[in-house]
Amino acid sequence: MNKAIKFKALEIIEKKGKFFREIIEKKIGDLPDGEVLIRVKYSSLNYKDALSASGNRGVTRRYPHTPGIDAAGIVEESSNIEFKPGDEVIIMRYDLGMNTPGGFGQFISVPSEWIIKVPAGISLKESMVFGTAGFTAGFALDKLEAAGLTQNNGELLVTGATGGVGSFAVAIGAKAGFNITAATGKPGKIDYLNSLGANKILKREEVDDKSGRALLPVRWAGVIDTVGGNILSTAIKSTKHNCSVVACGLTQSPELNLTAYPFILRGVNLLGVKFTPELRTKIWNKLASTWKPGCLDKIYSECRLEELNEKFDLILDGKITGRIVVNLE
C-alpha cells in the first residue's frame, strides 16, 4: 500500500509536561514496520486506554502516541501467508496501544503473532463489544471451571459488576448456567444487571467487610473480582472450602490485606489472569458460541473517534457502564 496514504488517528501529545488529545492525519509510512497492515473498523475503550491518554508512563513510555489496546479490522497487506488481504481479524493484548500505535487510528501495523482471525459466530463489531474486557471475563470463568467450579456448587460472585469485565462476567456466567450474584456500587443499575442474567444483586457495602475478622461465614462457590482491595479480601474470607477466587482488577486498590487463614484452614485458591497465547483461540471460540450472551446489545454503546475525549475521564472515574465500542469507519 502507498505509504503516503493518509488516515485519521487520535494522538496524545505532550507539551511542556502536559498532555493533549487531538485528532490528526497520519500516513501509512508513519506506522512501525509490521508483518500485517490492518484497516481498523472498530476498537473499544478500556481503562488502560484512558491511562495512556492521560500521560501515564507506566502504560506508555513515549509520546506522541495513539492508544487503543483493542482493534478489529480487515487485513490490507501481509507478509505472513496465514493472513491474507480481506481476512477479518482481532488484535488485543501484547503491546498494541501501549507503546505501539493502537486501535484509535484507522490503520495499524503489527506482528502476525498478535493477530487472531475473527471466529465464526461473531461479527467484527461484536468482537470489540467483547474486546479485552470480555476476553478477561471469559478467561476468569475458564480458570474457575478448570479449578473445579460447576453450576451445582452454589453462588458465583461478581464484583464491580457494571464495569466492562464485570458486565461480561455476569452475562457469560449466566449464559453458562451459573447462579450469579452481582455486587455493585451503582444502585441505579439493578435493571441493567437483571437484564444480563444476575440472579441476585448486592450493594457494594455488603461485600466490603470492615470488621477486621480473619474469616467470615462461607458463601461463595467462586468469585470473579474486578476491583481488588478490601472487597477482594472480603470475598476470599467468604469463599467456601476448596473453592476459588479470580482476581482480575484493581479499581478499588492493588493492596490485599488479610491473613493466611482462608488458604490454610479452608483451602481457598486465589487465581490470576495472566494472558497465555495458547488459550486465546479456546476462549474466543467459546465467546463466539456457547458463552455468547443474548444480551450483547445491552452491554455496549457506540461512539466515533471524535467523541472519545470525554469518555476517558468518565472511565477513570468509574462512571462508564458496560462497554464503549469505537467506530472508525
Q: What is the count of structural domains for the chain?
A: 2
Residue whose C-alpha is closest to residue 155's, from 175, 128, 135, 173: 173
Shared domain check, 230 and 168: yes
Instruction: Please give the C-alpha separations between residue 25 and each of 163, 197, 305, in angstroms, as whole numbers.
Output: 32, 43, 13
Shared domain check, 11 and 137: no
**Model pLDDT, residue 318:** 87
CATH number for the domain including 167?
A: 3.40.50.720
**Model pLDDT, residue 275:** 82
Q: In tens digits, what is the pLDDT along the chain, a chain of 329 residues?
A: 788 899 999 999 999 889 999 999 999 999 999 999 999 999 999 999 999 999 999 999 999 999 999 999 999 999 999 999 999 999 998 999 999 999 999 999 999 999 999 999 999 999 999 999 999 999 999 999 999 999 999 999 999 999 999 999 999 999 999 999 999 999 999 999 999 999 999 999 999 999 999 999 999 999 999 999 999 999 999 999 999 999 999 888 999 999 999 999 999 999 999 888 888 999 999 999 999 999 999 999 999 999 999 999 999 998 999 999 999 98
> Residue 141 domain-assigned?
yes
> Residue 124 domain-assigned?
no
Shared domain check, 140 and 107: no
Q: What is the three-class DSSP state of 66?
A: coil
CATH number for the domain including 314?
A: 3.90.180.10
**Model pLDDT, residue 1:** 75
Shared domain check, 264 and 136: yes
**Model pLDDT, residue 276:** 82
Grid cell for residue 43: 476498537
**Model pLDDT, residue 297:** 95
The pTM for the full model equals 0.94
Instruction: Please give the C-alpha separations between residue 252 and each of 143, 245, 318, in angstroms, as whole numbers.
Output: 23, 17, 10
**Model pLDDT, residue 178:** 98
Task: Quote the domain boundaries for residue 39.
Answer: 6-118+297-327
Residue whose C-alpha is closest to residue 69's, from 30, 96, 35, 32: 96
